[in-house]
């Protein structure tokens, strides 16, 4: 990935996979803007990334169109846009217990947010630029309690293919992660996080759970490969086989 002097926006860059992407891009010489809803997490991310002059942090809710438009007015021209944002708190429920407000947060963060990023971000991108979103293995291996997340991941992948056609020659792709050890698991599994991840590690052909750096590698490939668009890159340790 050659992104020296490139300008990259990473939504969800304050933690987990997005933070790993930000670290990688900064190390490669890019100018990075991380964006997210939590000022506190953005501040912590700046500290983790040692707040170089090439790093900016912007508080934004990507489900709010006015805020997305203001974000791009602030960033100016860009080379790449990445979104790893996902708010799935409370969404893993059997249907009788499902609260539509929890489902709406998944729709907002993983579908409407990317749609708005494409709408307002595409005009800011260089012609050789890219948008990279994150879906997930749940679209292929759904489980009880996971209907909402599975459906939205699948919808996002359909959006990626359509945008790759509509926005060409801009490239639009998605990474589909498997189970990755990120802070989101504390919200999903609570005190059972470690046991849950360990059980999945024993099932996977690679024998381990993913790490944020694994996903950062995949996103770096999609940003750097100029002949890849409308593609879903699966990075899930063989989960679709297990």
pLDDT in tens, the chain (242 residues): 789 999 999 999 999 999 999 999 999 999 999 999 999 999 999 999 998 899 999 999 999 999 999 999 999 999 999 999 999 989 999 999 999 999 999 999 999 999 999 999 999 999 999 999 999 999 999 999 999 999 999 999 999 999 999 999 999 999 999 999 998 877 677 788 899 999 999 999 999 999 999 999 999 999 999 999 999 999 999 999 99
Can you give the pLDDT at residue 236?
A: 98
Can you give the pLDDT at residue 226?
A: 97
Q: Tell me the whole-structure pTM to 2 decimals.
A: 0.95
Distance, in Å, from the CA atom of 222 to the CA atom of 139, rounded to the nearest integer, reads 20
Can you give the pLDDT at residue 57?
A: 97
How many other β-carbons are positioned within 10 Å of the β-carbon of residue 195? 10
- DSSP letter string, 207-239: SS-B-HHHHHHHHHHHHH-TT--S-EEEESTTG
Can you give the pLDDT at residue 62?
A: 98
Can you give the pLDDT at residue 51?
A: 83
Point out the residues that are catalytic: 135
Domains belonging to the chain, first-starting first, are 7-241 (3.40.50.720)
Reported as half-sphere exposure (CB side, CA atoms, 13 A), residue 237 has a value of 21
Radius of gyration of the chain (CA): 17
């Amino acid at each position: 990935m050659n992104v020296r002097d490139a300008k990259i926006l990473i939504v969800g860059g304050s933690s987990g996979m997005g933070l790993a992407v930000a670290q990688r891009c900064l190390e490669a010489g890019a100018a990075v803007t991380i964006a997210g809803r939590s000022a506190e997490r953005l501040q912590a991310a700046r500290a983790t990334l040692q707040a170089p002059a090439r790093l900016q942090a912007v508080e934004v809710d990507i489900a709010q169109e006015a805020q997305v438009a203001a974000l791009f007015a602030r960033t100016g021209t860009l080379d790449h846009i990445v979104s790893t944002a996902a708010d799935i708190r409370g969404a893993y429920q059997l249907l009788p217990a499902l609260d539509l407000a929890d489902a709406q947060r998944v729709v907002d963060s993983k579908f409407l947010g990317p749609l708005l990023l494409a709408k307002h971000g595409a005009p800011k991108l260089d012609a050789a630029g890219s948008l990279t979103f994150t879906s997930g293995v749940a679209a292929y291996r759904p489980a009880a309690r996971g209907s909402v997340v599975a459906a939205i991941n699948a919808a996002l992948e359909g959006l990626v293919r359509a945008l790759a056609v509509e926005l060409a020659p801009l490239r639009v792709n998605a990474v589909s992660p498997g189970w990755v050890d990120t802070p989101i698991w504390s919200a999903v599994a609570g005190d059972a996080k470690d046991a849950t991840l360990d059980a999945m590690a024993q099932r996977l052909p690679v024998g381990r759970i993913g790490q944020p750096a694994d996903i950062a590698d995949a996103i770096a490939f999609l940003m750097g490969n100029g002949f890849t668009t409308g593609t879903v890159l699966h990075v899930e340790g063989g989960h679709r086989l297990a």
